[in-house]
């Protein structure tokens, strides 16, 4: 069953923990309105839009940790999640911060894959200080 061009209703973050990533092509990216509605369920996450505010470029969040040990644990968790889901984010880090950016290149935007990985990452990192 194709979900191409079908509406994407917002759902609680916990519901995304059970969604598995899949290959998604053109037509699966969420609209700006759908993204704004879903963001209400994703505390601390933001979306970077194009200059016109019409096309979502990335779903991103910055995590703060007490020290570099927390950063190393977080980066390790991110790489495992990315491999498990076969969906790989852009990651930057410094002494006590990690910034993660998700998007689905094949769909040219934000898709179910990005929401699922964001939720799973929040869950994986919730106990790292």
pLDDT tens, position by position, 45-71 = 999 999 988 889 999 999 999 999 999
φ and ψ at residue 68, rounded to 5 degrees = -70, -25
pLDDT interval class at 38 (50, 70, 90): very high
Could you tell me if 50 and 60 are in contact, meaning their C-beta atoms sit under 8 angstroms apart? no
Residue 3: the pLDDT is 43
Residue 28: the pLDDT is 81
Quick one: average pLDDT of 34-43?
94
Quick one: average pLDDT of 87-91?
97
User: Which CATH code, of 3.40.640.10, 3.90.550.10, 3.30.365.10, 3.30.1360.20, is assigned to 18-125?
Assistant: 3.30.1360.20
DSSP 3-state of 73: helix
Which of 18-22, 23-27, 63-67 is predicted with the least confidence, judged by mean pLDDT?
Answer: 23-27
């Amino acid at each position: 069953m194709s979900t191409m061009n079908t509406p994407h209703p917002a759902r609680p973050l916990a519901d995304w923990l059970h969604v598995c990533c899949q290959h998604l092509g053109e037509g699966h990216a969420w609209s700006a309105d759908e993204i704004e509605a879903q963001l209400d369920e994703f505390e601390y996450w933001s979306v970077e839009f194009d200059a016109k505010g019409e096309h979502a470029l990335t779903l991103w969040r910055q995590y703060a940790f007490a020290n570099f040990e927390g950063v190393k644990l977080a980066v390790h968790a991110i790489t495992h999640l990315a491999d498990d889901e076969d969906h790989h984010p852009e990651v930057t880090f410094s002494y006590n911060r990690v910034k993660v950016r998700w998007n689905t290149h094949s769909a040219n935007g934000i898709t179910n894959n990005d929401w699922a990985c964001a939720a799973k990452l929040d869950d994986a990192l919730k106990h790292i200080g």
